[in-house]
Amino acid sequence: KAEHYPDPESRKLKHALAEYHEVPEEALICGNGGADLIYRLAYGTKPAHALLTAPTFLEYEEALKQVETKIHIYEMQPDYRVREDILEQMTEDMDVMFLCNPNNPTGILVEQELLLRILERAESRSILLVLDECFLDFTGQEERSLIQKTTEYKHLFILKSFTKMYAMPGIRLGYGVCGDGALLRKMETAGQCWGISVLASEAGIAALGEGEYKEKAITLVREERAYLKKEMEILGMTVWDGQADYLFFRTDGIRDLYDRLLPEGIMIRRCSNYRGLDETCYRVAVKDHEANERLIEALKKTAR
């Protein structure tokens, strides 16, 4: 199949996604990873004002900077949670707001009642709510997804990715769900043609049929996340109650944990480049039990 050019409209993949999520095919857009869609949205809409939480996924701000959007920040300190006062910052001059649920890098979910109030406020004030649900699959709480709301709320864009759950970041495949056809057309024309390769499309279609794998992955991550959190807290680290396939933690007094772990053959994510975080903040992936045990043993040696 790779000897042919891909379908620029990704119709086969959209058909599979429409059946999977029970949404219309015309409500879907596919991209070369979730990041591609973030940039397409920025280029296609060129919003004047945007509301971002902090700390959160860096690409939202990077994409908006390229179109000279004025960025307004909602600080989630000290507990890194979205609170009710975010509604006060959703003013009528806002064009778009990005919300990551669960958040990256903390893994914390937005309270569902508050999320629905945010959606209502966005719709009533014509603010495009870009809700990043790329890590929601790992929570085992997909009933929290607002995908079905896209048929009712035109100012809602849901961002999804195959990268995380199906462990294929090198293939680059993401998609969005939105009831605003005009917005999707702007995004389609804001990037290159043939953004989705034939191989990526086929991989995505195959992944949607892997229900058993998905359930096993959710169970594994839930169990191993609890194990890691418990062991890391015993070592004196402050670990947040994240719900994704990673844990966000702070090592008070240790600012070089990344470098200490390298000789042990372990790399963790430094989070000091996120707004509001410093060199004591890290994110670590939840892996299989053997790998997690290796991490804990390495932390026992280096994080003292």
Angle CA 52–53–59, to nearest 5: 60
116 near 145, Cβ under 8 Å?
no
pLDDT at 277: 96
pLDDT, residue 77, reads 86
pLDDT at position 252: 86
Please tell me whether the peptide bond between 24 and the residue prior to it is cis, using omega within 30 degrees of 0: no
Q: pLDDT tens, 80-107? A: 999 999 999 999 999 999 999 999 999 9
Residue of 148, 137, 198, 156 lying closest to 173 (CA atoms): 198
Mean pLDDT of the chain: 95
H/E segment holding residue 51? strand 49-54
Q: What are phi and psi of 132, to 5 degrees?
A: -85, 105
Task: Tell me if residue 81 falls in helix, strand or coil.
Answer: coil
d(CA 257, CA 270): 9
- pLDDT on residue 1: 65
What is the model's pLDDT at position 253?
87
Stretches where the chain sits below pLDDT 70 are: 1
**pLDDT value, residue 303:** 85
Contact 103, 243 (CB under 8 A): no
Would you give the distance in Å from CA 202 to the centre of its chain? 22
Helix residue ranges, H only, the chain: 11-21, 34-45, 58-66, 86-89, 112-124, 181-188, 198-208, 211-234, 257-261, 289-302
pLDDT value at residue 191: 87
